Amino acid sequence: MKQFFKFLLASMVGVFLTLLIVFFIFFGIIASLGKSDPKPVAKNSVYHLELNSEIIDRSSDNPLDNFNFMSLSSTKTIGLNDLLKNIRKAKLDENIEGIFLDLSFTMAGWASMYEIRNELLDFKESGKFIIAYADYMTQGAYYLASVADEVYLNPQGIIDFRGLNAEVVFLKNMLEKIGVEMQVIRYGKFKSAGEPFFRENLSAENREQMQSYLSSMWNTVIKDISEQRNMTVNELTSIADSFQTRTPEGALEAGMIDGIAFRDEIMDNLKSRLELEDKKEVNLVNFAQYNKAPLPDSMLPIGKRDKIAVIYGYGNIVMESQNDLSMGADRISKALRTARKDTTVKAIVFRVNSPGGSALASEIMLREVMLAVDEKPVVVSMGDLAASGGYYVACYASKIIANPNTITGSIGVFGIVPNMKEMFNDKLGITFDNVKTNELADLGSVSRPLNRTEKQIIQGQIDRIYETFIHHVAEGRGLPVAAVDSIAQGRVWSGVDAKRIGLIDDFGGLNYAIEQAAELAGIEKYRIVEYPEQKPLFEQIMEGFGSVEARFMKARLGNAYPIYQKMQQATENSGILMRMPYDVQID
């Protein structure tokens, strides 16, 4: 028996030590993914810009955010902040001769692409070249490629240039099948929030607003392309209507590209521009490599005591969040408070990229914005989306900057209370009974439908919050309350229309917002500090293991993962919300 326990103990110790070694090896691999030692690039190099990874507002320091547990590999996302910085760096870098835009598709919103495109246009002012090539191009990829000096397409390639399409997923029938009724209470004729839960198609009001902002976005896209390709808007409209770019020959005839070529021929083109011998290869520096290249002297923060704080608010607005993938009132409020109290921070740029969310969380963040505005300039930079709660937190800013293709507005409120009685009773055979001390003690129970009194109470709360919303916007934007109410009602606007009706002040991206903040603060030399502060690497990795299940689901479901997310939100989005009325995919 002693011998048995001896071997058992030895086996347990062996297993423990093995797991410990595996853990440290795994940790070492993950930690190495986050290392970033400065490495200068060689002379006569070309910045090889591929944008086939997801583009988010700020790069994450946590390698697990991009780690694929199915393939045990890292799928790196691209931070818009680093992308814009690298293009500006390449403009000033004497070792970079030009940019090779290697585009097929872009995983970014239209407003983000507008910012990238403008930075590329600024790069061209240096006199350096931009060459674009793709085997296949989406409309977003072509929108970026149109700034290039020359655009080439593979002989079997295609440019998917057919106009914008916006699609909304409706869950009503699916919810009925599982016995769930989403009880939606709302304010405003355009507050189409909840339509995916109780309709099978778009309402007339929703269709009107979607057609309006989609047409506005498309007009911006074809106007920008027409200016760079020396074509008229009518010509581009005709090309899209006939899908003339479905063949390389058609794209070339239409003037959308400058040539049809294989990749090796593009490399020869670059060699010629760099005056390289035939046997020498072009030194292509990709995003990850160039991200490690040192900054030129003019971009270094040396000797710059004054600061501009850039605070990133991304994702659904919630009370608490652990990372940059959701806009937690706890983290954002702390960041705003820290920047406000720091006397070396002379201005704040609040980057908002959110469809909205919790009304209470939005109110908490707005309070911190109002306190900050009393002490120093606060400029809001809107990303792809700054709607409902995302606009609420921005309305008191000293200045609001957005892109023409930003989706904003949606000034409205709604509430959702799931009724799962049929699912519990008929589908699962589960019943409920209760006792209570007061009439409304079980208000909000998901095991039964709301009664008339409960609906009136929730409607009253929604009406009160809506009135608060439009009064805040009126005061923050210097508009009459009646005027705000007429453009509110939950209606969604494009950036172009938002400027026309006074919801924003000017067009521009994050860099322009920073310049405006510096001007308002009266400073010329400054350095950028980013908030919320990202946690130490080890702490991020430990927290990352908590979301392993979501990572597995994303890897397993692939393109179907967004549908799975919507099904989750159907039951998770409850209570009173300031949120974009639906999730829409614009292609």
CA-based torsion, 360, 549, 537, 87: positive or negative: negative
8 Å CB contact between 498 and 406? yes
CATH number of 120's domain: 3.90.226.10
Q: Could you tell me if 373 and 269 lie in one domain?
A: no
**Within a domain: residue 454?**
yes
- pLDDT given at position 242: 97
- Residues 11 and 280: their CA atoms lie apart, in Å, by 57
Domain boundary among 290, 319, 346: 290
**H or E element, residue 166:** strand 166-168
Residue 388 bears catalytic tag = yes
Backbone φ and ψ of 378, nearest 5° = -125, 115
Give the count of beta carbons closer than 10 Å to the beta carbon of residue 297.
8
Of 91, 191, 307, 554, which residue is the catalytic one? 191
**Within a domain: residue 549?**
yes
Which residues make Cβ contacts (< 8 Å) with residue 384, sequence separation at least 6?
108, 109, 110, 111, 112, 353, 405, 406, 407
Closest CA to 184 of 200, 174, 198: 198
Give pLDDT tens digits along the chain (587 positions): 555 555 556 566 555 556 556 555 545 544 554 555 667 889 999 999 998 888 999 877 655 555 554 445 555 688 999 999 999 999 999 999 999 999 987 889 999 999 999 999 999 999 999 999 999 999 999 999 999 999 999 999 999 999 999 988 898 999 999 999 999 888 766 556 678 888 899 988 889 989 999 999 999 999 999 999 999 999 999 999 999 999 999 999 999 999 999 999 999 999 999 999 878 899 999 998 998 888 887 787 766 789 999 999 999 999 988 778 889 999 999 999 999 999 999 999 999 999 999 999 999 999 999 999 999 999 999 999 999 999 999 999 999 999 999 999 999 888 888 999 999 999 899 999 999 999 999 998 999 999 999 999 999 999 999 999 999 999 999 999 999 999 998 899 999 999 999 999 999 999 999 999 999 999 999 999 999 987 555 455 555 544 555 555 555 555 554 555 555 554 444 557 777 655 666 76
Domain boundary among 290, 325, 349: 290
Q: Could you tell me if 252 and 142 lie in one domain?
A: yes
Distances (CA, A) of 469 to 90, 122, 374, 485: 44, 38, 20, 10
**Within a domain: residue 369?**
yes
Three-state DSSP string of 180-201: CEEEEEECCCCCCCCHHHHCCC
8 Å CB contact between 152 and 245? no
Q: Could you tell me if 274 and 357 lie in one domain?
A: no
Q: Could you tell me if 353 and 409 lie in one domain?
A: yes
**Within a domain: residue 547?**
yes
Distances (CA, A) of 291 to 83, 124, 325, 491: 8, 20, 22, 40
Which residues make Cβ contacts (< 8 Å) with residue 78, sequence separation at least 6?
51, 53, 54, 55, 56, 59, 287
8 Å CB contact between 221 and 110? yes
- pLDDT given at position 9: 60
- What one-letter code names the amino acid at 38? P
Structure tokens, 579: 């949120």
Q: Could you tell me if 253 and 326 lie in one domain?
A: no
Strands (E), 90-198: 96-102, 129-134, 150-153, 166-168, 181-186
- Residues 176 and 182: their CA atoms lie apart, in Å, by 10
Give the count of beta carbons closer than 10 Å to the beta carbon of residue 503.
26
Of 146, 354, 388, 398, which residue is the catalytic one? 388
CA atoms within 13 A on the CB side of 196: 18
Q: Could you tell me if 480 and 572 lie in one domain?
A: yes
**Within a domain: residue 438?**
yes
Structural domains of the chain, count: 2
**Within a domain: residue 114?**
yes
Q: Could you tell me if 256 and 383 lie in one domain?
A: no
Structure tokens, 90: 């390449």
- Residues 112 and 383: their CA atoms lie apart, in Å, by 6
Q: Could you tell me if 261 and 390 lie in one domain?
A: no
Closest CA to 524 of 303, 242, 203: 303
Domain boundary among 267, 290, 313: 290
Structure tokens, 346: 């002379």
SS3 content of the chain, % helix, strand, coil (to 5): 45, 20, 35
8 Å CB contact between 355 and 316? yes
User: Which structural domain range is residue 80 located in?
Assistant: 45-162+243-290
Task: Give the predicted TM-score (pTM) of the model.
Answer: 0.85
Structure tokens, 380: 């809001």
Judge residue 564's burial from the number of C-beta atoms within 10 Å of its C-beta, 0-12 exposed, 13-18 middle, 19 or more buried: middle
Locate tokens 């795994």: which residue? 26
Q: Could you tell me if 406 and 495 lie in one domain?
A: yes
Q: Could you tell me if 343 and 406 lie in one domain?
A: yes
Q: Could you tell me if 259 and 331 lie in one domain?
A: no
- What one-letter code names the amino acid at 383? G
- Residues 14 and 154: their CA atoms lie apart, in Å, by 56
- Residues 20 and 400: their CA atoms lie apart, in Å, by 51
**Within a domain: residue 202?**
no
**Within a domain: residue 331?**
yes
- Residues 182 and 365: their CA atoms lie apart, in Å, by 28
Q: Could you tell me if 285 and 157 lie in one domain?
A: yes
